[in-house]
A and B are shown apart, each in its own frame.
Chain A
Amino acid sequence: MKRFLAARLLAALTVVAPVAVAAPAAAQSTLTNVSYDPTRELYKDFNALFAKHWKAETGQDIRVQVSHGGSGKQARSVIDGLNADVVTLALASDIDAIAKATKKLPADWQKRLPNNSSPYTSTIVFLVRKGNPKGIKDWNDLVKPGVEVITPNPKTSGGARWNYLAAWAYGLKQNDNDPEKAKAFVAELFKHVPVLDSGARGSTTTFAQRGLGDVLLAWENEAYLSFQEFGDDKFEIVFPSISILAEPPVAIVDANVDKNGSRKAAEAYLNLLYSPEGQSLAAKHFYRPVKPETVSNKADVERFKSINLVTIDDTFGGWAKAQGEHFGDGGVFDQIFKPGN
């Protein structure tokens, strides 16, 4: 009886235990890239390219681990201790936040690589349903009665902050640079937002897969990618009269690479982004390369439409100012966005 019981109990205990030892082994060297939401496809290809390069250069195998999510949320994780060798986020102030909170990289990190440490840029466009049934042409069409706008949450998403600032820039331009009127316009716009996802990709699936909303405020790359993923016959891109130059920056997290012994690989990784191969990949994945002349497939560059873009520095006095003013606790976004209205 006793042995029988013991056997049964053992069986109960080991319902799941036999595989306990099968933890993943990590013999090869690794590099961790903590990135924002819509770069999933880009870095999937780029990581393979980098592994090939690293192997050719050093003879070593390397595996790049990636994590994707809303840019602000990702920065928060790195601050809380996520062991990132490099961060490739949606905007400078998220990397500023890491530098400020952890001192793991210097405050002037953005000067270390060309073009404000942004190897590619993008902008904010509108994605609408095929045939543009609501006739959306510019920002002022978004606040018409019955139009639902999908955008992620500016508190957690970098793309959402670019969306918000692009709308603000339009509000300024229409109203002789009157910030109160711009604020009223953006407040009105957010009344048309039924749901705020935490990252850009969440918003895209909300709009494209779940079918919510009439217009998605999207990264240009994300809008083009949706054609590729969902077919050409479902959506249209609308280029507004004015938008913002989005510069997603990249940086090495110094304290982490020194701890992990991965500085060389991290530097090579980021430098490769600026190489002709890296630039070609960025263009292929619908990011605007900062050195378009080096891209191998010219068609990838020619498809980018030239639009009137404001910059964060000229219109908003840089990220350090814009972040606190608009997205900090009690900032303008907190004042204008009241959930449920």
Chain B
Amino acid sequence: MSAEAATAPVGRSLASPTTESAGAKLLLIVLGLGFLALFLVIPLFAVFAEAFRNGVAVYFEAFEDPDTQAAIRLTLLVAAIAVPLNIVFGLAASWAIAKFEFRGKSFMLTLIDLPFSVSPVVSGMCYVILFGASGYFGPWLDKHGIQIIFAVPGLVLATVFVTFPFVARELIPLMQEQGTSEEEAALSLGANGWRTFWSVTLPNVRWALLYGVLLSNARAMGEFGAVSVVSGHLRGLTNTLPLQVEILYNDYNFVAAFAAASLLAGLGLVTLVIKSLLEWRYGGEISSKHRK
């Protein structure tokens, strides 16, 4: 779902060195499609089928619940904070890694990947240990009346943590591939650093950036584990949409739960469509030829 999933560069169709028998091809195709149907299409269909089980009117009624509306607003708010932070961080990190040589560069690359390898629940726990009432900064925060855990800031922090590799991971290989020659040309023509960034570097990576934004947004809105730990589950206040789905389900409110889930599934589908469009139209500009 991340960088690895991007398409191969277009325009490189060489004859395959090996050819499979028709039977083997068919088997592979059936296996592949069967897998997709079993793990993606059927569950997705089930979500929508359950959501519309009692008709369209009941489906839309689910969104009249003020708590569900609050969950939708909160999810959008969290994404609206986390995604721009991601852009800034992703651009800065990839710029530093791709265009400069410095000590500890490979260590930094590894660190960027950390949120991919750590369970989201653990990242949520980290913030509880740091900012919880009995955590390191808890007493100080409490004294100054600042609430981080079980409030919006905690949700944003947890979301930023789990999403921050997405933009950087998209940009780093591309920027490395592009090298520094265009920036050097701009600088030698008298542009300052800022101007070089806006006029040369950014246009070169714009589609990859959009691609990264798309992925991090999907993850930010869909994240469950990390936000579950820091949410406190106050209804209408600290529940994001994925948490609200769980609550509605446990309230025996199955149609509403699946209606809310269908929003998330819809977000996933829209993301998929835009992602495919980007890959199809700007594939060459998104993925570098020598991906890491």
Q: Which residue of B lies closest to A202 (CB)?
A: B250
Docked-complex contact B134 and A101, CB < 8 angstroms: yes
Number of interface residues of A (CB under 8 A): 40
Evaluate whether A81 and B237 lie within 8 angstroms (CB atoms) in the complex, with A17-B80, A22-B73, A201-B250 already known: no
In the assembled complex, the CB of A221 is this many whole angstroms from the nearest CB of chain B, namely: 14
CB distance from B237 to the nearest CB of A (A): 6
On whether the beta carbons of A67 and B235 are closer than 8 Å, the reply is: yes
CB under 8 Å from chain B, chain A span 175-215: 199, 201-202, 205, 209
**Pairwise interchain contact B254-A81, C-beta atoms closer than 8 A:** no
Give the interface SS of chain B, mostly helix, strand, loop or mixed. Answer: helix
Known: A22-B73, A65-B234, A83-B147. A15 touches B217 (CB 8 A): yes
Any chain A CB within 8 A of the CB of B126?
no
Q: Tell me the minimal C-beta distance from A312 to chain B in angstroms.
A: 27
Taking the closest CB of chain A, its distance from the CB of B275, in whole angstroms, is: 13
A16 interface neighbour in B79, B133, B142, B202, Cβ under 8 Å: B79
A77/B217 in contact, CB under 8 A = no
Is A27 close to B, CB under 8 A?
A: no
Residues of chain B within 8 A (CB-CB) of A285 are none
Distance between B128 CB and nearest chain A CB, rounded to angstroms: 6
Chain A residues lying within 8 Å of B149, measured Cβ to Cβ, are 80-82
CB-nearest residue of chain A to B249 = A205
Q: Are A24 and B233 in contact (CB-based, < 8 A)?
A: no
Q: Is B77's CB under 8 angstroms from A23's CB?
A: yes
The reply on A243 being an interface residue by CB < 8 A is: no
Using C-beta atoms within 8 Å of the partner chain, give the interface range for chain B.
Answer: 35 or more
Q: In whole angstroms, how far apart are the Cα atoms of A123 and B236 in the complex? A: 31
Is the CB–CB distance between B234 and A66 below 8 Å?
yes
Q: Say whether B199 faces chain A, with CB atoms less than 8 Å apart.
A: yes
Beta-carbon contacts under 8 Å, B173-220 to A:
198-199, 202-203, 206, 209-210, 213-214, 217
A40-B251 contact given A65-B237, A81-B142, CB 8 Å threshold: yes
A159 at the interface (CB under 8 A from B): no
Q: Does B132 sit within 8 A of A, measured CB to CB?
A: yes
A32 touches B250 (CB 8 A): no
Contact A5 B132 (CB under 8 A): no
Of the stretches A6-14, A52-60, A295-303, the one at the interface is A6-14
**Known pairs A65-B234, A80-B132, A81-B149; A20 contacts B203 (CB<8 A):** no
CB of A229 closer than 8 Å to a CB of B: yes
- B236 to A: closest C-beta gap in Å: 7
Q: Complex: how many Å from CA A251 to CA B162?
A: 36
Neighbour of B133 across the interface among A15, A67, A79, CB < 8 A? A79
In the complex, which of the residues B87, B132, B235 contacts A65, with contact meaning CB atoms closer than 8 Å? B235
Contact yes or no, A20 B81, CB < 8 A:
yes
Give Cα distance in the complex from A230 to B73, angstroms.
31
Contact assessment for A205 and B250 in the assembled complex, using a CB-CB cutoff below 8 Å: yes
Chain B CB within 8 A of A305 CB: no
Contact A77 B150 (CB under 8 A): yes
Whether A16 and B237, one on each chain, are in contact in the complex, defined by CB atoms closer than 8 angstroms, is no
14 more A-B contacts (CB under 8 A) besides A80-B133, A81-B131, A199-B250?
A: A9-B202, A12-B210, A13-B84, A15-B83, A16-B76, A16-B83, A16-B217, A23-B152, A67-B235, A68-B247, A68-B250, A80-B132, A82-B149, A83-B147
